[in-house]
Amino acid sequence: MNDPRPPREEAALRGGVGEPVRHDSAHLHVSGEAAYTDDVLEARGTLHAAFGLSQRAHARIKSMNLAPVRAAPGVVAVLVAADIPGENNVGPILHDDPILAAAEVQFVGQPIFLVVAESVGAARRAARLGVVEYEDLPAVLTIEDALAKQSFVIPSVTLQRGGWQAALAAAPHRLKGGLRIGGQEQFYLEGQVAYAVPGEDGDVLVYSSTQHPGEVQLQVAHALGVEAHRVAVECRRMGGGFGGKETQASHPACATALAARATGRPVKLRYDRDDDITITGKRHDYLVEYDVGFDGAGRIAGIDLMFASRCGFSADLSGPVNDRTVMHADNTYYLPAVRIVSHRCKTNTQSNTAFRGFGGPQGMLAIEYVLDEIARALDCDPLAVRRANFYGPGRDVTPYDMRVEDFVADRLFDELAASSDYATRRAAIRKWNAASPIVKRGIAMTPVKFGISFTATFYNQAAALVHVYTDGSVLLNHGGTEMGQGLFTKVAQVVAHEFGVDLDHVRVSASDTARIPNASATAASSGSDLNGKAAQAAAAAIKARLVAFAAERFQVAPEAIRFAANRVEIGDVKWLKFGELVRLAYLARVQLWASGFYKTPKIHYDPKTLKGRPFYYFSYGAAVSEVAIDTLTGETRLLRADILHDAGRSLNPAIDLGQVEGGFIQGMGWLTTEELWWNESGRLMTHAPSTYKIPVASDVPVDFRVKLWERGENVEDSIHRSKAVGEPPLMLAISVFQAIKDAVASVSGYEGTAQLNAPATPEEVLRAVTAATKRSTAPV
Ligand code: MTE
Ligand code: HPA
Ligand code: MOS
């Protein structure tokens, strides 16, 4: 116990807060050993399920003949809506989303019946044998049609401030226009999957690939008509969620639990990729209209914005998603007089849901588009127009009445403009374009400001349960879920730091509703903020007991006890290994586990007026993208991207950098190649990678310079002053879209505007180039 102390350099801690340690499952990911829901060892007698899907966009079900399904080889049971003992619903807010459609179908792909069979193949083959007679009803398939018919899933919302009409009328310049913004399929690599194992006396354990085990637990309980304590939901990890498993994991989970109840056997349901894309909701696509008034420097005096989004057939999370669009339509810009109208359109298509950014990207793309158009109308550098509109002293209140107290986008802009050589390159590109008739280049720099917190204030809470075993090892349970973003690693680092032990002494348990009840979804980028604080509180409680015990045992002041580098220093003379102190404390009957709880302070928000302080703070970033477009084919390529992102004092710079890179590339996919296309019957035709193109490794720019902002620090008391990083970087990809727009503008010699819709697919770029060419050659 009184060993001489090792020299200082040996006393370093491995994997503490701020260290760029690898993802705790990295070795399992790359070796294929990481266990996903489909890898849970199947219990004896396991059955497999498949949904029978609606073939009509909107119809009354006249009759259903499922005899051929029941007669198919290997089929054990077939369930319809009437077989559900509890509530037939998976709608998270409104109860408008049936597990199995009963009298009416509302989109092509809606589940109508559930087949349970001895094998996956038998279930899927049998599911195609149902004979359903439909009586077609009028279907609403587009945003325009929904607007015309006033077809909404929830009422429209208007946010306004100041005399926007007068400001528009009095402004020296005015522009009106619109754009379309496409949706996006989450395309998690692991599809939706659940595995329900029945227990005794009506209990059920559901392994679910979900961002929100607590909600899945409640939905399963409601469907079965039992109390929540009979249902346990577990998720070790997801192979990606990206928002697509925030609510829509409930559907397969309820289906398997119902089938397990009906058959008394374990049941698994894994959507195949085509079914997954056909059944589940995506990022909302939008129609945007604007009317903006501005001065000669491009500074906005007043703006009127209209957003209409495709919500699909049910409300799902469309309310909060569209609210976030409204609350990000300012991005980094002060809008002195403003009206923002938001319509939540009901269409006979998949129920759109959360996707990284949660409506924020669409709001931000709209204002970035408007600023670009202003710059082109005034023939000045879009960068200067962006700067002129930045929040600043006396211009620091958002349209929803929150004061921006942590603005750093201007500093990020200055640093990135210099380090990326923006001005020189912009001039060089213009010169280059003048001499290049076919291939044109474009460049753009855009900022990101993203509000951190769930807009629904009550979701901003988290709990953790930390166990210290008598050998000094630590088991960390918290309510968050791991989907590849590195949450488990970051929260474990917080706990390791608190105890002063190496990271490998801290093991994170699977997410489990029996260990942590009522946990919020891991979403809104707030996983490490919320769970990090809760876990820190739990560890601190145990540490306080250990300190009190050691102070008494060794007769020193509590202040003289220090936890560092796997040992506990007792004053200046004595030290113990962490495990030794734990063992002594156990023998002295000290409680070695504790729970921790956290709720985000300062936030409040009125969902009716959209006013308040919905966000604890903002995360910021900036990106410069340079692209080339081929004016004959419409193809585009990102040549170089420079990114400076503010993750505050990063908990783990390696993981955070990965989030920035991945988010940016995913955003680029949204805005360039990923296109959802429904045919005239409302069938989504782009339901496989053959027709839906996500970015691949070769789309990463050859010259990719990504940095975390070294001076970043959260002004609020977040976990170790870090900042949430999961979603914000996706919106850095708006710079790619604006760079393509810049390249298109070169076709008309940078005269006037350059109308371009998202995604900027080759077809869309070609359309825009053709329009620009006609304009530049038209007689004046
Ligand atoms: N990163 C990976 N690898 N996989 C994912 O599914 N989801 C994103 C982001 N980064 C996701 C990801 C989304 S939509 C959110 S809200 C956050 O991670 C959630 O995790 P966090 O709150 O722990 O950042
Ligand atoms: N972000 C992400 N998910 C959510 C939110 C949010 O603001 N609100 C409810 N679910
Ligand atoms: Mo992320 S869209 O908040 O799951």
CA-to-CA dists, residue 775 to 176, 224, 764, angstroms: 18, 63, 17
SS3 381: coil
> Residues near ligand 1 with C-beta < 6 Å?
240-243, 356, 483-485, 487, 522-528, 659, 662, 726-727
Please name the residues in contact with 289: beta carbons below 8 A apart, sequence gap of 6 or more. Answer: 176, 177, 178, 305, 306
Nearest to 479 by CA among 431, 529, 429, 518: 518
CA of 238 to the centre of ligand 1 (A): 10
Q: What is the distance between the terminal CA atoms of the chain, rounded to a whole angstrom?
A: 92
CA of 391 to the centre of ligand 2 (A): 25
Q: Which ligand is nearest to the CA of 526?
A: 1
Q: Which ligand is nearest to the CA of 663?
A: 1
DSSP designation for 22: P
Taking all residues of the chain, what is their mean pLDDT, rounded to a whole number?
96
Q: Which ligand is nearest to the CA of 454?
A: 2
Nearest to 429 by CA among 622, 624, 645, 695: 624
Any atom of ligand 3 within 6 Å of the Cβ of 581: no
- Give the amino acid at 83: D
CA quadruple 379, 384, 388, 391: dihedral, nearest 10:
140
Cα–Cα dist 451/191, whole Å: 29
Which two structure tokens, joined as six digits, stand for 17? 């807060």
Measured from the CA of 358, which atom of ligand 3 is nearest? 2
Output the pLDDT for position 779: 56
Nearest to 206 by CA among 232, 226, 170: 232
212-263: per-residue pLDDT in tens? 999 999 999 999 999 999 999 999 999 999 999 999 999 999 999 999 999 9
Measured from the CA of 358, which atom of ligand 1 is nearest? 14
Q: Which residue has the tokens 């079914």?
A: 275
CA of 93 to the centre of ligand 2 (A): 12
Measured from the CA of 526, which atom of ligand 1 is nearest? 22
Please name the residues in contact with 82: beta carbons below 8 A apart, sequence gap of 6 or more. Answer: 102
Which two structure tokens, joined as six digits, stand for 737? 């879209």
166 with 216: CB under 8 angstroms? no
Cα–Cα dist 468/592, whole Å: 5
Which two structure tokens, joined as six digits, stand for 476? 């960390």
510-536: per-residue pLDDT in tens? 999 999 999 999 999 999 999 999 999
Nearest to 181 by CA among 307, 265, 341: 307
Any atom of ligand 2 within 6 Å of the Cβ of 621: no
Q: Which residues of 271-280 are buried (b: 16+ CB within 10 A; e: fewer)?
A: beeebbbbbb
Any atom of ligand 3 within 6 Å of the Cβ of 321: no
Measured from the CA of 246, which atom of ligand 3 is nearest? 4
CA of 191 to the centre of ligand 2 (A): 21
Which two structure tokens, joined as six digits, stand for 296? 């000669």
Q: Which residues of 638-671 are buried (b: 16+ CB within 10 A; e: fewer)?
A: bbbbbbbbbbbbbbbbebbbbbbbbbbbbbbbbb
Any atom of ligand 2 within 6 Å of the Cβ of 278: no
Q: Which ligand is nearest to the CA of 322?
A: 2
DSSP designation for 66: -
Q: Which ligand is nearest to the CA of 522?
A: 1
Cα–Cα dist 645/721, whole Å: 15
Helix (H) or strand (E) holding 223: helix 213-224
Look at residue 421 and tell me whether its pLDDT is greater than 90.
yes
451 with 610: CB under 8 angstroms? no
CA of 239 to the centre of ligand 1 (A): 11
Output the pLDDT for position 8: 44
658-695: per-residue pLDDT in tens? 999 999 999 999 999 999 999 999 999 999 999 999 99
Handedness of CA 358, 364, 365, 366 (dihedral sign): positive
Any atom of ligand 2 within 6 Å of the Cβ of 321: no
Output the pLDDT for position 755: 93
276-308: per-residue pLDDT in tens? 999 999 999 999 999 999 999 999 999 999 999
Ligand 1: which of 186, 485, 531, 660 to mutate, most ligand atoms within 8 Å of CB? 485
Measured from the CA of 245, which atom of ligand 1 is nearest? 6
Output the pLDDT for position 778: 59
Backbone φ, ψ for residue 571 (5° rounding): 60, -150
pLDDT-derived band at 573 (thresholds 50, 70, 90) equals confident
CA of 282 to the centre of ligand 2 (A): 15
Ligand 2: which of 94, 246, 452, 727 to mutate, most ligand atoms within 8 Å of CB? 246
Any atom of ligand 2 within 6 Å of the Cβ of 324: yes
Any atom of ligand 3 within 6 Å of the Cβ of 249: no
Q: Report H helices in 89-201.
A: 120-127, 143-148, 164-170
Q: Report H helices in 295-404.
A: 318-326, 360-378, 382-389
136 with 348: CB under 8 angstroms? no
23 with 29: CB under 8 angstroms? yes
Cα–Cα dist 438/629, whole Å: 8
Any atom of ligand 3 within 6 Å of the Cβ of 354: yes
722-759: per-residue pLDDT in tens? 999 999 999 999 999 999 999 999 999 998 778 999 99
Cut 0.85: pTM above it? yes
Look at residue 5 and tell me whether its pLDDT is greater than 60.
no
Look at residue 10 and tell me whether its pLDDT is greater than 70.
no
Ligand 2: which of 322, 455, 615, 616 to mutate, most ligand atoms within 8 Å of CB? 455
Task: Give all strands (DSSP E) within 239-299, no chain letters.
Answer: 267-270, 286-294
Any atom of ligand 3 within 6 Å of the Cβ of 246: yes
Percent of the chain with pLDDT over 90: 96
Q: Which ligand is nearest to the CA of 529?
A: 1
CA of 401 to the centre of ligand 1 (A): 28
Q: Please give the full DSSP string across 609-627, using - where no structure is assigned.
A: TTEEE--SEEEEEEEEEEE
Nearest CA, atom 9, ligand 1? 726
CA of 477 to the centre of ligand 3 (A): 21
What would the mean pLDDT of 562-588 be, rounded to a whole number?
A: 95
Beta-ladder partners of 441: 628
CA of 132 to the centre of ligand 3 (A): 36
Any atom of ligand 3 within 6 Å of the Cβ of 98: no
Nearest to 722 by CA among 655, 616, 656, 650: 650
Output the pLDDT for position 9: 43
Any atom of ligand 3 within 6 Å of the Cβ of 524: yes
Length of the chain: 780
Which two structure tokens, joined as six digits, stand for 184? 């996006």
Beta-ladder partners of 630: 439
Look at residue 763 and tell me whether its pLDDT is greater than 70.
yes
Q: Which ligand is nearest to the CA of 652?
A: 1
- Give the amino acid at 466: V
589-638: per-residue pLDDT in tens? 999 999 999 999 999 999 888 999 999 999 999 999 999 999 999 999 99
Output the pLDDT for position 1: 43
Output the pLDDT for position 607: 85
23 with 489: CB under 8 angstroms? yes
Any atom of ligand 2 within 6 Å of the Cβ of 354: yes
CA of 521 to the centre of ligand 3 (A): 9
SS3 638: strand
Cα–Cα dist 301/173, whole Å: 9
pLDDT-derived band at 774 (thresholds 50, 70, 90) equals confident
**How would you class 774 by CB atoms within 10 Å of its CB: exposed for 0-12, middle for 13-18, buried for 19 or more?**
exposed
CA of 379 to the centre of ligand 3 (A): 38
Neighbours of 700 (CB within 10 A): 14
Ligand 3: which of 247, 280, 325, 356 to mutate, most ligand atoms within 8 Å of CB? 356
How far is CA 496 from its chain centroid?
Answer: 27
DSSP designation for 733: G
pLDDT-derived band at 436 (thresholds 50, 70, 90) equals very high
Any atom of ligand 3 within 6 Å of the Cβ of 422: no
Whether 727 sits among the annotated catalytic residues: the reply is yes
Measured from the CA of 357, which atom of ligand 1 is nearest? 14
- Choose, from 42, 727, 763, 764, the residue flagged as catalytic: 727
